[in-house]
Amino acid sequence: MLRLGLTGGIGSGKSAAAGIFKALGAYIIDADKISREILVPGTEAYRETVAQFGDKILNPDRAVDRKTLAAIVFGSEAELETLNNITHKHIFAVMEREARDAEIGGKYKNSMIVIDAPLLFAPDFKMRYDKSAAVTADDEIRIERVLKRDGTSRAEVENRIKSQFTNAELAARADYIIENNTNDIKDLENKVKALYERLIKKI
């Protein structure tokens, strides 16, 4: 079964593209979703993260306040590296287990596994993938999308973008680029479908 690594920065439309792949029949391994799940109270990753960053990252119910944590780590390369060192090993363990289960189960034998991961090209990314695709959009378009979606500040979005790969860096690393500079979902659907059909022929 072919494994496609799918990446893209905040506001690029990566998650929307993953949803389209899923509708076409791919099995999605969502690194962002897993990163939230491993930080629920009581998990090892939760305990390690709170021990490192303190109670200031917690809501009154003791759940991790992801906005507060993001503001800390995306404003400092050192803090981001510290968080990644804590969480990545837990995230990769879950992702690899999901991939094995999908491959052994055979439910998606006629399709592919899509590994939806913002950090696909990071040096410590340990999962195997056969091909890679990056969803890109101009920075200003990404900023406008996130401001409209999340109600966060422009400075926070810009900090997130600065901490991620640029479009040029993604283009240099990815096997395929899905450009998403319009807000027309049909345009994105057509591009994803074309790539999906191209890859399926190789299976």
Residue type at position 161 = I
As given in the structure block, the two tokens for residue 90 are 């837990």
**Which residue did the predictor score with more confidence, 180 or 125?**
180
What's residue 197's pLDDT?
A: 94
What's residue 103's pLDDT?
A: 81
11-35 burial by CB neighbour count: b if 16+ within 10 A, else e? bbbbbebbbbbeebebbbbbbeebb
**Topology of the domain comprising 2-198:** Rossmann fold (3.40.50)
What's residue 111's pLDDT?
A: 75
Whether 203 shows a pLDDT value over 70: the answer reads: no
* SS3 category, 29: strand
Query: Do the beta carbons of residue 4 and residue 112 sit within 8 Å?
Result: yes
Query: Do the beta carbons of residue 142 and residue 11 sit within 8 Å?
Result: yes
In 3-state terms, the chain is what percent helix, strand and coil (to 5)?
55, 15, 30
pLDDT confidence band for 110 (50 / 70 / 90): low
Q: Where are the domains of the chain?
A: 2-198
